[in-house]
Amino acid sequence: MKKGCYAVIFSNQMKAIDDVFYQQLSKSLRKLAQDQKGYLGLESYRNEDGAGVTISYWETKEAIVVWKKNSEHLVAQHYGREKAYDHYSVQVCEVMRSYHHTS
């Protein structure tokens, strides 16, 4: 990602839930985020024990606020709190440097 953009780091621990529904919801949210102004990209990882991290990248802090308030995203946030996650945390960070290596 480029210097000066912002990263939203969403760390979480999944509960034992219907994985199919969660996967569909996750796929839908990714598509929705991609269509948002200011969206730059996303990385997501999940361990076998259910621990996961999703990092989304945004051009501006304002784009992050718009995404947080998106009506479909609000429904997903509620689902996450009530059904999907034992716990989660969110950090919003400015990207100060970015390094890449390709072999």
Residue 39 and residue 63 in contact, taking contact as beta carbons nearer than 8 Å: yes
Determine if the pTM surpasses 0.85: yes
Residue 68 and residue 46 in contact, taking contact as beta carbons nearer than 8 Å: no
pLDDT > 70? residue 18: no
Q: Which CATH architecture has domain 6-94?
A: 2-Layer Sandwich (3.30)
pLDDT at position 1 is 66
> Which whole number is the average pLDDT over 45-65?
95
| Rg, Å, the chain Cα set | 14
Contacts of 101 (CB under 8 A, 6+ apart): none
CA distances from 52 to 10, 20, 47, 70 (A): 8, 16, 6, 22
Contacts of 22 (CB under 8 A, 6+ apart): 14, 84
